[in-house]
Amino acid sequence: MTPWSLLRSPAEQQIAGMPLPCSVALPDGQRIGAREPRLSFEIRDTRALLHLTQGAIGRLAEDYVEGRLEIDGSMHDLMAAAPALLRSDPTHETHGWLLDHVSRARRAIWERTHHSRAKDAAQIQHHYDVSDDFYALWLDPLRVYSCAYFSSPDMSLADAQQAKLDHICRKLMLRSGERFLDVGTGWGALLLWAAEYYGVAATGITLSRNQHAYVNRLIEQKGLQGRVTMLLQDYRDVDESAPFDKVASVGMCEHVGRLNLPAYFAKMRRLLRPGGLMMNHSITAGGADNAEVGGGMGDFIDRYIFPGGQLVHVSVMMNAMTRGNLEPVDAECLRPHYAKTLWHWADALEAHLDQAREVLGKDAEKIIRAYRLYLAGSAMGFERGWTSLFQILASRPAESVKADDGHAGRMPWAHSDYPFNRTYMYARDPAIDRVNEVKRANGGHEIR
């Protein structure tokens, strides 16, 4: 009896449970499932069929990247079908008390050895230095590689990303002349937006050599030398001698490691002047205790996309902030916004697969397969609440406490710039008027 025969029955059960017509083709010529499928799997290795019967969708993703499995169908159909394979909630996976204890111990050891300066730099460069031209195929024109903010449902991705940049600047109450630090600058969208529209003296840091060079070219092209500085630097090495008024960290602390989060936020506190504000915008885990998405999905992302990355629940994030002596003053969940953002990215990549093969060159097929699954799979994860996204605004409380410190409209004993009233985030602002004037002239959506 062949392995295909042994696994045929459980494979049939899995396919029968799919929410849309699916079929599986085996190497020995057998075909199971629907006669007219919307989604087809071609098995080329026994391991792929075993992973299908086990519902190990992270391993199936690996099989696809490595060529042990072929998939015929849209990414939308694949993500509609994939959850039916799972045997448990990926945000609450447990293996019993003893195995969970061992797993936590192993994870702690792993964290201590995977977040040195050298390893963090290598891990960031593994992801972000794949190819600038590749990312440009599916990101918006500003190359904002983080959750957009769809303040109206019909917004284009480009407009929603600009709305997000401004949402962050307004939450931070950026003012002309303030010193602003952008930790994990990416391709520079927030850094340059804050400098151009809010008049801050902006400093950005990254560990990506490609992004460092790209942003410095933009600074020169825009004539922002002297007002904007871009550094190739680890966050642990940022100079603390001249504190910043405001700090933003967007899509950065996912790379820090759970055990390092209190020290990370303590560093951010030291980089802030008393009373200053920090915006932390990051992906969070959907479950309170899981260190990664189950079903092998976290392992897949660690291997092919974000080595060294780790998610924590928002409660853990706020706990770490507090342990770093920052005061969380406002939190906003943008989970549905990230699902919509990711589908924009996934659909754009699907529309540019041939161009992606051209710009990636060697190993293009593996990279493309990994990113197709990563983008669409992440969209599914945010749709289902397996992962989330929070913007958390925090302050460094001022050392001196006064009931009335002379700031009109500030709450007594606020200890910071935050007015403890959200209305300022949505009030008319001259910076917004300038942005919208340009956008109207170019036929774009206003930010609000």
> Could you give all domains of the chain from N- to C-terminal order, each with its CATH number?
3-85 (3.30.1050.10), 121-441 (3.40.50.150)
Residue 318 has which token pair?
A: 């706020």
- Over the chain, what is the mean pLDDT? 86
Q: What is the pLDDT of residue 129?
A: 57
Taking only Cα atoms into account, the Rg of the chain, rounded to an integer number of angstroms, comes to 23
Helices and strands, counts by H and E, the chain: 18, 11
Phi and psi of 74, rounded to 5°?
Answer: -75, 155
Structure tokens at 244: 């910043």
Give Cβ neighbours of residue 144 (< 8 Å, ≥ 6 apart). 161, 164, 165, 186, 187, 189, 190
Catalogue the E-assigned strands of 251-323.
Answer: 272-285
Over residues 157-171, the pLDDT tens digits come to 999 999 999 999 999
Confidence at 391, pLDDT banded by 50, 70, 90 = very high
If you count them, how many residues does the chain have?
A: 448
Q: Both tokens of residue 237? A: 């090495």
pTM score over 0.85: yes
Mean pLDDT to the nearest integer, 201-225: 95
Nearest CA among 247, 249, 235 for reference residue 174 = 247
Give me the pLDDT at residue 99, please. 46
- Asked if residues 192 and 143 have their Cβ atoms less than 8 Å apart, the reply is no
Q: What is the pLDDT of residues 19-35, one digit of tens each?
A: 999 999 988 888 999 99
Indicate the pairing of strand 22-25 with strand 31-33. antiparallel
Q: Which residues contact 109 (CB under 8 A, 6 or more apart)?
A: none
